[in-house]
Structure 1
Amino acid sequence: MKYNLPSNSLYGDEPIEISFPDNWDVHISEIKGFNTPELTADEIREGVASPIGAERIKDGARGSKSAVIIIDDITRPTPCEHIARAVIDELLEAGVPKENIWFVVALGTHGAMNRADFVRKLGDELVEEFEVHNHNVFFNHVYLGNTSHNVPIEINSDVMSADYKVAIGTTMAHSYFGFGGGAKCILPGVSSIRTITRNHSYTTPSDFNMGNPMTLMRNDAEQAARMMGLDFKIDVIINGHGEICKLFAGDFEAESRVCCEYAADHYSAKFVPDCDVVLANSYLKPAEACCAYTPEVIAPLRSGGDFILAANSPFGPCVHYLYDKWGHSAPGGLMWAGCYTKTAKMKNAIVFAEYTVKGMRDPWYIDEGSGAVYKRKWEEVLAIIDDGTPKKVVVYPMAEGQVLDNSHEFYPKKA
């Protein structure tokens, strides 16, 4: 059996062909919306012009002398160009001067982007025509007060200086926030290191909330977005080919509620139990492949089985000022809590990734020190796990953003 494994998000999105022996029982658990058709540029424009709970940008921005467009970074799969062009046209129609429209990349605590990254997100022309700035997590913030959970909210100064504020991102399941999208572009997106550290202290790397509709972290982010005056939010849904297949726009809370309800169905996938081999693929977030190394994905594996974590993108591993290791002798990032490790029930833990950086990769995949092995070619993976006997296999092609039908069983238990 052969299967085209989704790979290379924002780097051409070319899948990698993998194969399995004919005597293996292979289950491909794709998300429900895997083959939902891609939206055209005109359909994207129509979505931006049909807001939920807010005025159209061309009306809401009327009288504004400046505008900022916040976009997610290169570690997220959003193809922003067509959306950004629709937003810019509405801002210009509202009378905002072109020279007073700029972009800020919502890096949170991720490393800065370069020109090649900007072009992958926005296209060459927009990068040449408009100012594009990386968010600086360490400097230049405006303090706005504290949330009801006593999180101090400090937001990027260039974001706060704009009269009108728009943000663009993707919604999919997230192990900490429940779902991405919505206000996450603000906290952590354009918040200070102090704000993010306090907000992220509400969870640990072992917590699991994939598809959980409301978490404490998300609640704080929504308070922050309301405090800083986010005027308009656009969230997209991505199919199994890295394409925009649905778009929601408007007030960030109103559109996000509708978007998350749609996302829970779109990203739903079947839990397949009692497997000899589990392949969890991190397609949309390959730089943070550990997002696909979750309790619900490990649960199908029988004791003594083989676990494969796949993440293929030329971008390589993430740079992160909270959770990165930052050297073999250093204490790590501000919230460094150790690497994800091979579990006792795994005979083999294999990372199938062509592009990694030894030393940087362990926090974002599976720690070599715990017994994981790294392989760049599928043939090398098969050489380890194929012993000639029949096996039951499940492949989760989008494990980092899916909601399995038993995900709720793994949510943190309330006291």
Structure 2
Amino acid sequence: MKTYVLPYGKGNQKADIPEDHVLYDLHGPHAEAVEDEEQAVREALRHPIDCQPLDDIIQPSDTVCIVVSDITRLVHTDRMLPVLVQELNRIGVQDHQITVLVSQGTHRAHTEQENEIVCGSDMVRRLHIVQHDCHDASALTCVGRTSFGNDVYINSLAAKADKLILTGAVSFHPMAGFGGGRKAVLPGIAGFDTIMRNHSLALSEVPGGGCHPGCHAGALEGNPFHEDMKEACAMVRPDFLINTVFTPDGDLYEVVAGHWNTAWEKGCRDLLRIGSVPIQKLADVTIASAGGYPKDLNLYQSVKAHMNAVLATRPGGILIFTLECPDIQEPAIFTDWFFRNDLDACERELRNQFLMPGFVAFKARCIIQSMKAVYVVTRKENFDVIRRSGQIPAATLEEAWQMARTVLEEEGCRDYGVTIMSHAAATLPVLCNIDT
């Protein structure tokens, strides 16, 4: 037996697994973590990719809008933003000329405490921080229409600022291919209808076909979801970008800065190199964590783990997740869709009126339905939500593992294989050859 420890909220869960049954303990290739994050940010800012440095872009008289991710994203904004503001101050831009725009997309607004967690208390005290509201039409400006027929409305503060700087983190995204980059604009600071039109591109072009085959983690070419975002961002013409890239274990690997697209693309290439892992065999059981807080803050974010873990698991296999989910029912619209069992009806409804939370729930429920069983280790107060979503709750990882072993024994499966994914939302299994 070997004890495996998986992240769970701000703590962990552990279970004893027969080591001879473990096929893979998946982590990305070894990648050295950045030791001095402040210096890494400053170096990236002063040596940008494919564009001039901030000194040549920003004038002391400019108003500057800085777009930052909300609390559901691992970015290290609280470490990045102070350095960026220092650089702007050095150029001559004063604090009162800077607006921080939190790119909620369709997510709820931050509390004051969450603003401090994301931006840092000093930045909250010094800067004007605005929560984007995708439903507030009076705060939106139309900047054009994409080739996909999407009318692009974005937050007017970003549209009207003299200079626009995007921040965020490059990550694997189950529909957009990668997070970060252009995603700070769409869906980050876009209007609700713009977001929904973009996200509807994640459905198959053929009714009844489910999800679009080009919209999955790590895919950009032939991905309409991404291509629409890119066109929208090009219309906004951001002046600068700075993004963080993390190892699958959640450590900062690098900081990329410069042109809003080419600097981000470098981050994507590097993440693919350190975050994708080749496998030769699909597991009977995959035990996975989204990566702990904030990636398991709610189910909406947590199911990214489902969308990567399923790639390591045989059809009809078993999935086990450690997801604390203290904010499990946020957003409520996602939870409502997650409770729906008629997937054909869900797809028809999404085609009539696309809702991103509905689509994420639809895709996650398709995964759950394709498995023999899906166990979720979570808080006891979350058990009813988990049951209603077609999954099985457990209080501890050891309890979930014992339930899974019982199912394996009932099936007569003694030569089972297990894969461990401690940071499933950030680890992409790539099946190279099925070992029969």
Q: Same fold per TM (> 0.5)?
A: yes
1:28 and 1:347 mapped to 2: Cα distance?
A: 22
1:206 and 2:216 correspond? no
Among 52, 57, 65, the residue aligned to 1:55: 52
The within-5 A match list for 1:179-190 is: 179-190=178-189
Give 3-state SS (helix, strand or coil) of 1:78's partner: coil
1:213 and 1:27 mapped to 2: Cα distance?
A: 27
1:293 and 2:306 correspond? yes
Q: CA deviation at 1:198?
A: 0.9
Q: Which amino acid in 1 is paired with 2:403?
A: I
The within-5 A match list for 1:156-167 is: 156-167=155-166
**Which residue in the other structure is 2:318 paired with?**
306
Give 3-state SS (helix, strand or coil) of 2:261's partner: helix
Go from structure 1 to structure 2 and tell me whether the alpha carbon gap of 1:303 and 1:41 turns closer, same or farther (over 3 Å shift).
closer
Give 3-state SS (helix, strand or coil) of 1:74's partner: coil
1:346 and 1:223 mapped to 2: Cα distance?
A: 37
**Which residue in the other structure is 1:97 paired with?**
94
1:374 and 2:390 correspond? no
**Which residue in the other structure is 2:346 paired with?**
none
Residues 315, 355 of structure 1: 8 Å contact kept = no
**Which residue in the other structure is 2:227 paired with?**
219
Deviation above 6 Å: which 4+ runs of structure 1?
Answer: 326-329
Deviations 1:45-91 (A, max 9, x none): 11222111122223211144311111111111111122111211121
**Which residue in the other structure is 2:344 paired with?**
none
2:116 and 2:231 mapped to 1: Cα distance?
A: 32
Residues 210, 402 of structure 1: 8 Å contact kept = no
Question: Aligned Cα RMSD in Å?
Answer: 3.0
Q: Which amino acid in 2 is paired with 1:325?
A: D
Q: CA deviation at 1:242?
A: 2.8
**Which residue in the other structure is 1:5 paired with?**
6
Go from structure 1 to structure 2 and tell me whether the alpha carbon gap of 1:210 and 1:320 turns closer, same or farther (over 3 Å shift).
farther
Residues 257, 263 of structure 2: 8 Å contact kept = yes
Residues 312, 431 of structure 2: 8 Å contact kept = no
2:195 and 2:430 mapped to 1: Cα distance?
A: 31
1:239 and 1:124 mapped to 2: Cα distance?
A: 27
Q: CA deviation at 1:233?
A: 0.8
1:303 and 1:144 mapped to 2: Cα distance?
A: 44
Go from structure 1 to structure 2 and tell me whether the alpha carbon gap of 1:64 and 1:200 turns closer, same or farther (over 3 Å shift).
farther
Residues 242, 256 of structure 2: 8 Å contact kept = yes
The within-5 A match list for 1:78-93 is: 78-93=75-90
Go from structure 1 to structure 2 and tell me whether the alpha carbon gap of 1:18 and 1:130 turns closer, same or farther (over 3 Å shift).
farther
1:276 and 1:407 mapped to 2: Cα distance?
A: 17
1:271 and 1:395 mapped to 2: Cα distance?
A: 12
1:107 and 1:53 mapped to 2: Cα distance?
A: 28
1:126 and 2:117 correspond? no
The within-5 A match list for 1:327-366 is: 335=355, 336-337=358-359, 339=362, 340-341=364-365, 343=368, 346-354=371-379, 357=382
Give TM-score, length-normalised by structure 1: 0.85
Residues 57, 87 of structure 1: 8 Å contact kept = no
Mean Cα displacement is larger for which, 194-203 or 310-319?
A: 310-319
Residues 26, 427 of structure 2: 8 Å contact kept = no
1:274 and 1:168 mapped to 2: Cα distance?
A: 37
Mean Cα displacement is larger for which, 338-347 or 100-109?
A: 338-347
**Which residue in the other structure is 1:66 paired with?**
63
Give TM-score, length-normalised by structure 2: 0.81
1:400 and 2:425 correspond? yes
1:66 and 1:89 mapped to 2: Cα distance?
A: 15
2:433 and 2:182 mapped to 1: Cα distance?
A: 23
Q: Which amino acid in 1 is paired with 2:304?
A: C
Q: Which amino acid in 1 is paired with 2:119?
A: L
Residues 165, 231 of structure 1: 8 Å contact kept = yes
Listed as ranges, the gaps of 5+ residues in structure 1 are: 363-367, 410-415
1:299 and 1:401 mapped to 2: Cα distance?
A: 13
Go from structure 1 to structure 2 and tell me whether the alpha carbon gap of 1:354 and 1:400 turns closer, same or farther (over 3 Å shift).
same
1:356 and 1:184 mapped to 2: Cα distance?
A: 33
Go from structure 1 to structure 2 and tell me whether the alpha carbon gap of 1:66 and 1:226 turns closer, same or farther (over 3 Å shift).
same
Name the one with the larger helix percent: 2
Residues 40, 254 of structure 2: 8 Å contact kept = no
**Which residue in the other structure is 2:237 paired with?**
229
Go from structure 1 to structure 2 and tell me whether the alpha carbon gap of 1:175 and 1:398 turns closer, same or farther (over 3 Å shift).
same
1:305 and 1:217 mapped to 2: Cα distance?
A: 29
User: Identity of aligned pairs, percent?
Assistant: 22
